Amino acid sequence: MTSTQATAASTTTKKYHVSVTGMDIHSWSAVPTFMSFARRSMQQAKEAKGVVHVQGGYQKGVHHTLTVWEDRNATVQYLRSGDHKEAMAASKDIGTFVQVYGYDSDEIPSMEEAIQKWKEHGHVVFRQKTPPKTTTTQLLTSWMLLGVAFFGVLHVLTRTGVLPVSSVAALTASS
Protein backbone atom coordinates (compact mmCIF):
# COMPACT_ATOMS: atom_id res chain seq x y z
CA MET A 1 0.00 0.00 0.00
CA THR A 2 1.39 3.39 -0.96
CA SER A 3 1.33 6.31 1.45
CA THR A 4 -1.39 7.97 -0.69
CA GLN A 5 -3.57 4.84 -0.43
CA ALA A 6 -2.97 4.64 3.33
CA THR A 7 -3.97 8.28 3.78
CA ALA A 8 -7.11 7.79 1.68
CA ALA A 9 -8.06 4.68 3.66
CA SER A 10 -7.59 6.41 7.02
CA THR A 11 -9.74 9.40 6.03
CA THR A 12 -12.67 7.32 4.75
CA THR A 13 -15.69 8.10 6.87
CA LYS A 14 -18.41 5.67 7.79
CA LYS A 15 -22.00 6.30 6.85
CA TYR A 16 -23.50 6.40 10.39
CA HIS A 17 -22.65 7.09 14.01
CA VAL A 18 -24.09 4.46 16.36
CA SER A 19 -24.75 5.09 20.06
CA VAL A 20 -25.56 2.27 22.50
CA THR A 21 -26.44 2.82 26.15
CA GLY A 22 -27.17 0.37 28.96
CA MET A 23 -28.56 1.17 32.39
CA ASP A 24 -29.44 -0.99 35.37
CA ILE A 25 -32.40 0.32 37.41
CA HIS A 26 -31.67 0.10 41.14
CA SER A 27 -35.14 -0.98 42.32
CA TRP A 28 -38.74 -1.44 41.23
CA SER A 29 -39.61 1.86 42.89
CA ALA A 30 -37.36 3.72 40.44
CA VAL A 31 -39.01 2.14 37.38
CA PRO A 32 -41.80 4.75 36.99
CA THR A 33 -39.25 7.57 37.09
CA PHE A 34 -37.02 5.72 34.63
CA MET A 35 -39.95 5.02 32.28
CA SER A 36 -40.95 8.68 32.31
CA PHE A 37 -37.44 9.80 31.37
CA ALA A 38 -37.05 6.97 28.84
CA ARG A 39 -40.33 7.78 27.08
CA ARG A 40 -39.52 11.47 26.78
CA SER A 41 -35.90 10.87 25.74
CA MET A 42 -36.93 8.34 23.08
CA GLN A 43 -39.49 10.80 21.72
CA GLN A 44 -36.85 13.54 21.66
CA ALA A 45 -34.50 11.19 19.77
CA LYS A 46 -37.17 10.30 17.21
CA GLU A 47 -37.71 14.00 16.49
CA ALA A 48 -34.02 15.01 16.57
CA LYS A 49 -32.20 16.38 13.58
CA GLY A 50 -29.92 13.78 12.01
CA VAL A 51 -31.49 10.68 13.57
CA VAL A 52 -31.75 7.59 11.39
CA HIS A 53 -32.89 4.86 13.83
CA VAL A 54 -34.14 4.70 17.44
CA GLN A 55 -34.74 1.50 19.39
CA GLY A 56 -35.07 0.47 23.02
CA GLY A 57 -34.68 -2.95 24.57
CA TYR A 58 -34.13 -4.96 27.72
CA GLN A 59 -31.58 -7.75 28.09
CA LYS A 60 -30.41 -9.56 31.21
CA GLY A 61 -31.55 -6.87 33.65
CA VAL A 62 -30.21 -3.96 31.61
CA HIS A 63 -32.30 -1.37 29.77
CA HIS A 64 -30.71 -0.46 26.43
CA THR A 65 -31.11 2.23 23.82
CA LEU A 66 -29.73 2.05 20.32
CA THR A 67 -29.68 5.22 18.26
CA VAL A 68 -28.16 5.67 14.82
CA TRP A 69 -27.27 9.11 13.51
CA GLU A 70 -26.09 10.76 10.32
CA ASP A 71 -22.91 11.80 12.17
CA ARG A 72 -21.37 12.19 15.62
CA ASN A 73 -22.30 15.89 15.83
CA ALA A 74 -26.01 15.03 15.60
CA THR A 75 -25.52 12.54 18.44
CA VAL A 76 -23.78 15.11 20.64
CA GLN A 77 -26.47 17.73 20.01
CA TYR A 78 -29.12 15.27 21.16
CA LEU A 79 -27.15 14.11 24.22
CA ARG A 80 -26.65 17.64 25.51
CA SER A 81 -30.19 18.94 25.17
CA GLY A 82 -33.76 18.66 26.37
CA ASP A 83 -35.22 15.63 28.08
CA HIS A 84 -32.14 13.51 27.48
CA LYS A 85 -29.95 16.01 29.31
CA GLU A 86 -32.39 15.91 32.26
CA ALA A 87 -32.40 12.10 32.19
CA MET A 88 -28.59 11.99 32.32
CA ALA A 89 -28.61 14.32 35.32
CA ALA A 90 -31.10 12.05 37.13
CA SER A 91 -29.48 8.74 36.20
CA LYS A 92 -27.56 8.35 39.47
CA ASP A 93 -30.86 8.56 41.38
CA ILE A 94 -32.41 5.87 39.21
CA GLY A 95 -29.71 3.35 38.32
CA THR A 96 -26.77 1.47 39.72
CA PHE A 97 -24.73 1.87 36.53
CA VAL A 98 -24.69 3.43 33.09
CA GLN A 99 -22.40 2.25 30.31
CA VAL A 100 -22.17 3.78 26.82
CA TYR A 101 -20.48 3.05 23.53
CA GLY A 102 -20.41 5.08 20.34
CA TYR A 103 -18.86 4.03 17.05
CA ASP A 104 -19.01 4.67 13.33
CA SER A 105 -20.52 2.11 10.98
CA ASP A 106 -21.55 1.66 7.37
CA GLU A 107 -24.65 -0.26 8.44
CA ILE A 108 -27.44 0.07 10.98
CA PRO A 109 -26.71 -2.75 13.45
CA SER A 110 -29.28 -5.02 15.04
CA MET A 111 -29.87 -4.50 18.74
CA GLU A 112 -28.00 -7.76 19.42
CA GLU A 113 -24.95 -6.65 17.41
CA ALA A 114 -24.91 -3.24 19.09
CA ILE A 115 -25.20 -4.74 22.60
CA GLN A 116 -22.34 -7.13 21.86
CA LYS A 117 -20.10 -4.19 20.85
CA TRP A 118 -21.33 -2.30 23.95
CA LYS A 119 -20.30 -5.25 26.15
CA GLU A 120 -16.87 -5.50 24.53
CA HIS A 121 -15.97 -1.80 24.22
CA GLY A 122 -18.38 0.20 26.38
CA HIS A 123 -17.29 2.93 28.77
CA VAL A 124 -18.79 2.92 32.29
CA VAL A 125 -20.11 6.42 33.00
CA PHE A 126 -20.79 5.53 36.62
CA ARG A 127 -21.22 2.48 38.84
CA GLN A 128 -22.53 2.63 42.37
CA LYS A 129 -21.57 0.04 44.95
CA THR A 130 -24.76 0.63 46.88
CA PRO A 131 -27.96 1.69 45.18
CA PRO A 132 -29.31 5.14 45.97
CA LYS A 133 -32.06 5.44 48.53
CA THR A 134 -35.59 5.35 47.19
CA THR A 135 -37.15 8.79 47.36
CA THR A 136 -40.63 9.50 48.67
CA THR A 137 -41.63 10.74 45.23
CA GLN A 138 -40.54 7.45 43.64
CA LEU A 139 -42.57 5.47 46.19
CA LEU A 140 -45.66 7.63 45.76
CA THR A 141 -45.40 7.44 41.98
CA SER A 142 -45.06 3.65 42.14
CA TRP A 143 -48.12 3.27 44.36
CA MET A 144 -50.09 5.70 42.23
CA LEU A 145 -49.27 3.76 39.05
CA LEU A 146 -50.18 0.47 40.74
CA GLY A 147 -53.54 1.98 41.74
CA VAL A 148 -54.20 3.24 38.23
CA ALA A 149 -53.30 -0.18 36.82
CA PHE A 150 -55.56 -1.95 39.33
CA PHE A 151 -58.57 0.21 38.56
CA GLY A 152 -57.83 0.00 34.85
CA VAL A 153 -57.96 -3.80 35.03
CA LEU A 154 -61.21 -3.63 37.03
CA HIS A 155 -62.69 -1.33 34.40
CA VAL A 156 -61.76 -3.67 31.54
CA LEU A 157 -63.03 -6.74 33.39
CA THR A 158 -66.40 -5.13 34.15
CA ARG A 159 -66.81 -3.69 30.62
CA THR A 160 -66.13 -7.08 29.05
CA GLY A 161 -68.46 -8.88 31.47
CA VAL A 162 -65.70 -11.05 32.97
CA LEU A 163 -66.31 -9.52 36.38
CA PRO A 164 -69.90 -8.60 37.34
CA VAL A 165 -70.40 -4.97 38.35
CA SER A 166 -72.00 -6.11 41.63
CA SER A 167 -68.68 -7.77 42.62
CA VAL A 168 -66.78 -4.53 42.03
CA ALA A 169 -69.37 -2.52 43.97
CA ALA A 170 -69.05 -4.93 46.93
CA LEU A 171 -65.25 -4.73 46.73
CA THR A 172 -65.12 -0.93 46.72
CA ALA A 173 -67.87 -0.53 49.35
CA SER A 174 -65.94 -2.65 51.88
CA SER A 175 -62.96 -0.27 51.83
pLDDT at position 54: 95
Read off the pLDDT of residues 110-137 as tens digits, 9 standing for 90 and up: 999 999 999 999 999 888 876 556 666 6
The pLDDT value recorded for residue 5 is 47
Q: Tens digit of pLDDT for each residue in 32-78?
A: 888 888 999 999 999 999 999 999 998 988 999 999 999 999 999 99
The percent helix, strand, coil of the chain (3-state, each to 5) is 55, 25, 20
Rounded mean pLDDT of the chain? 82
Q: Which residues contact 89 (CB under 8 A, 6 or more apart)?
A: none
12-127 CATH choice from 3.30.70.100, 3.40.30.10, 3.40.50.2300, 1.20.1250.20: 3.30.70.100
- In angstroms, the CA 98 to CA 63 distance is 10
Higher per-residue confidence, 167 vs 163:
163
Identify the pLDDT of residue 95.
Answer: 87
The pLDDT score that the predictor gives to residue 102 is 95
Give CA–CA dist 91/34, Å, rounded: 8
